[in-house]
Amino acid sequence: MTEGRRQKAEGRKGDSPIHRFTHSPFFIALWFAMLFLPFKGIEGAFVLFVVLLTTVFILRFLAGYIRPLKKRLQDAGTLIIQNAKCKMQNIGAKSLIFLLILLLCLPFFAKDYFIDIAILSGIYIILAQGLNIVVGLAGLLNLGFVAFYAIGAYSYALLNTKLGLGFWTALPASVLFSTVLGFVLAFPALRLRGDYLAIVTLGFGEIVRLVLNNWDSLTKGPNGIGGIQRPYLSDIPLGKLSYYYYFILLFVILTIFVVRRVYSSRIGRAWVAIREDEIASSSIGIDTTAYKLYSFAFGAFWAGVAGTLFAAKMQFVSPESFTFMESVLILCMVILGGLGSIPGVIFGSVILVMLPEMLREIQLYRMLALGSGLVLLMIFRPQGLLGRR
């Protein structure tokens, strides 16, 4: 009975004038033309509008002929999937081994430019996995996650330049400081929900950035902190890009392993339960406040790790690296890959780090491509590229 009502409600929604208008070919073509208007002017936007409108109408006309073929292809695909299920596990294991070998061999055939992008991708994978814990698993919208990233980076920079501490000595202190601040922020923030929680975390991120920008005596303000040392491994300096690549790869593997184990644990299941229905979780004995605190602290832990690795790699930190747009970029990585999906977050991080580099020649259109892609993703695949419904 409930399923029937839901289908009727969806049918009524699909038949509404607003729904028909927003999904009409005219509206789709007009939307893309308006996005293109600032770059090519009225004439270029009009040409794009006509081309898109014609294309959409042709596709709509051919849809009636494509549906029977699509049904046959779906049936054939289902049969193939059923026959291949028994082999999928071995194929997945072989693919994982092949990917690991490829990553290990990357510095031998790739240029320094691509190795540098791979290092940056690894740092963002760690950072996005931390935000995925807060947003994807626990369902808490955090728009100021870059603050913990900045705290980790500046903590290592100050401990190294002011006190002369090495990487391995400063790493635990930097990560601990980020984790404690994440725990402290969670106390007042978790009294709020939804949009209000997002506003509080956004304010916290901006406060941290302004403090770093204006506390000249400690952080050197807008000039930033330079001269940060690279880490050493058994008296071997990791200054060479290939050495630092393997160093970051080791941290990425460790992050994925730990996050996956926590995801499968009692704490991870409690986070997912809170995300799905907080009242129901509380009614079966889950201490929702405590588990929310755990999620904030655990996410800030990985942000501190990523910040420390970033400062050690760049050997320089400044407030310009930790703006609000950085928080938006990390959140886009999580949404693009799929909320709560560990492989999806890895995929989303790599795409959003590599995409700006691939589109460097058409610099004006990079953000247009990113924004349009996210809008289309939310329309056609809201669960993300590798996420589950």
Q: What pTM value is reported for the model? A: 0.77
pLDDT value of residue 22? 43
pLDDT value of residue 332? 87
pLDDT value of residue 68? 67
Q: Quick one: tokens of 235?
A: 């008296």
pLDDT value of residue 14? 45
pLDDT value of residue 19? 45
**What is the C-alpha radius of gyration for the chain, rounded to an integer number of angstroms?**
24
Residue ranges of the chain with per-residue pLDDT less than 50: 1-22, 81, 84-89, 91
Q: Which residues of 176-188 are buried (b: 16+ CB within 10 A; e: fewer)?
A: ebbbebbbebbee
